[in-house]
Amino acid sequence: MNFRRQKIEEVSVNLTPLIDVVFLLLIFFMVSTTFTRETQLKLELPQAASGQRVEDRSIQQLELTIAANGEMALNDRTLMRSDLETLTAALRRESGGDTLLPVIITADAQTPHQYVIIAMDAAGQLGFSKLRLTTSEIEADATQ
């Protein structure tokens, strides 16, 4: 008997459809993702020779940052406007009505005094009594 050998066909996987699907998924995720741009205020703190260093940062607190141009951020969220109404609403929302939380005001050394007064006024109107102003320590070379 004469048996014929069967031709062995090469088995291969066509990767073209797989690449197409992966490419479409990549495009979908790129289009549907929102890219947020985080902004931070650049501050140069005023210096002070006296004051107390605060070590316990584990307690909940409200940190208000004021840039030299008057731009304000509460707990690292930039406020749309730097007026009393916007700041009062933001303080009320962030505190959840708890007026016992400390409010820490960090203002740039070049910030106009009016913006710091607006911040203190907004905190006072809502009943916050624990206000702190942050400064940096005077360097040793600057005192001599």
pLDDT by position in tens, the chain (length 144): 677 777 777 888 888 999 999 999 999 988 888 766 655 556 565 666 665 665 555 568 888 888 888 888 888 888 888 888 888 898 888 888 888 888 888 888 888 888 888 888 888 888 888 888 887 776 655 544
Q: What is the DSSP letter of 143?
A: T
- At 123-133, the pLDDT tens digits run 888 888 888 88
Domain assignment present for 21:
no
Domain assignment present for 56:
yes
Domain assignment present for 38:
no
Q: CA-CA distances (angstroms) from residue 85 to 37, 49, 61, 97, 119?
A: 25, 34, 20, 16, 11
Domain assignment present for 24:
no
Burial status of residue 50 (CB atoms within 10 A of its CB: 0-12, 13-18, 19 or more): exposed
pLDDT value for 144: 47
CATH number at residue 113: 3.30.420.270
Cα–Cα distance measured from residue 89 to residue 77, given in angstroms and rounded to the nearest whole number: 13
Return phi, psi of residue 89, to 5°.
-65, -40
Please count the structural domains in the chain. Answer: 1
Domain assignment present for 54:
yes
**Domain residue limits at 101:** 47-137
pLDDT value for 131: 83
pLDDT value for 22: 95
Domain assignment present for 100:
yes
